[in-house]
Amino acid sequence: MKGVFNQIFTFLELTLFLPQLLLFYLSTQKEIIIVDVQKWVSVFEWKEPSNLINLLTLNSRNKEFRNLYYYRISKGNLSARLLMKIIKIFYPECPSLFIDPSCNIGGGLFIQHGFSTIIMADIGEDCWINQQVSIGYKDKTGRPQIGNNVRITAGAKVLGNINLGNNVTVGANAVVTKNVPDNCVVVGVPAYIIKRDGLKVKEELV
């Protein structure tokens, strides 16, 4: 009986979010949105095979995903962007998560807890950002360029006109203001390398 009630509740919950599907079908950003959906579903280990049902579920239960969804829509066609302005009134974003609309972000971005997080950088594919992260300008020279498969963990700061290579992990509360090579783990204030290509090291960033 409990399972039946759960199914009814889930059905009603998803029904309330059906306007989000209209936004999806109207948008020219369908392919990259599906890449995002599949990434989040993989992280959560959901078993539902339907991308559309998962899209509705993510929109209903994860405001962080909703921010990313609206960011994707904002990169597309005018008609979807106009409809989004209306839909956002009824389905608001996570208020403490900011994604700069001028950024270029590859597919598969996962945002784990969007509390007090600012994303103002060009980012590659399949990246992961935690809570209380600040990524953006340090001065007028430019903003970060971040590679593929990068993870930026809780409280970290990535600032200025710098490059983070592919397969980089930024440790909790680290402050990164210099370039980071591929395949590195950095920690500390200021950040330094503790692992490169799988080997333990202790190297300053240059």
Which of 7-11, 147-151, 153-157, 177-181 has the least mean pLDDT? 7-11
Query: Is 105 within 8 Å of 122 (Cβ atoms)?
Result: yes
Token pair of 144 as six digits: 């970060």
Q: Please tell me what DSSP assigns to residue 89.
A: H
CA distance 155 to 83: 34
Per the structure, the complete domain to which residue 24 belongs is given by 1-95
Coil, strand or helix: which one is 106? coil
* 101 in a structural domain: no
Coil, strand or helix: which one is 173? coil
What residue has token string 């960011």?
A: 71
> Residue 157: exposed, middle, or buried by beta-carbon count in 10 A (0-12, 13-18, 19+)?
buried
Buried b (16+ CB within 10 A) or exposed e, 71-97: bbbbbbeeebbebbeebeeebebbebb
Within this chain, do residues 85 and 117 fall inside the same structural domain, yes or no?
A: no
Per-residue pLDDT tens over the stretch 160-187: 999 999 999 999 999 999 999 999 999 9
CATH of the domain at 171: 2.160.10.10
Within this chain, do residues 74 and 116 fall inside the same structural domain, yes or no?
A: no
Q: How would you classify residue 160: left for phi > 0, otherwise alpha for psi between -120 and 50, otherwise beta? A: left
Within this chain, do residues 70 and 112 fall inside the same structural domain, yes or no?
A: no
Tally of structural domains, the chain: 2
Q: Give pLDDT, residue 13.
A: 67
Q: Residue 118's closest CA among 67, 79, 77, 83?
A: 67
Q: Give pLDDT, residue 17.
A: 76
Angle at 65 between CA 60 and CA 67, to 5 degrees: 105
Within this chain, do residues 90 and 127 fall inside the same structural domain, yes or no?
A: no
CA 95, 96, 102, 107 torsion: positive or negative? negative
CA distance 55 to 35: 11
Per-residue pLDDT tens over the stretch 112-152: 999 999 999 999 999 999 999 999 999 888 999 999 999 99
Using CA atoms, how far residue 64 sits from 82, 93, 111, 206, in Å, is 21, 7, 6, 34
Is 3's pLDDT higher than 70? no
Within this chain, do residues 73 and 12 fall inside the same structural domain, yes or no?
A: yes
User: Over the Cα atoms of the chain, what is R_g?
Assistant: 18
Q: Give pLDDT, residue 19.
A: 86
**For 106, phi and psi rounded to 5 degrees?**
-70, 170
* 100 in a structural domain: no
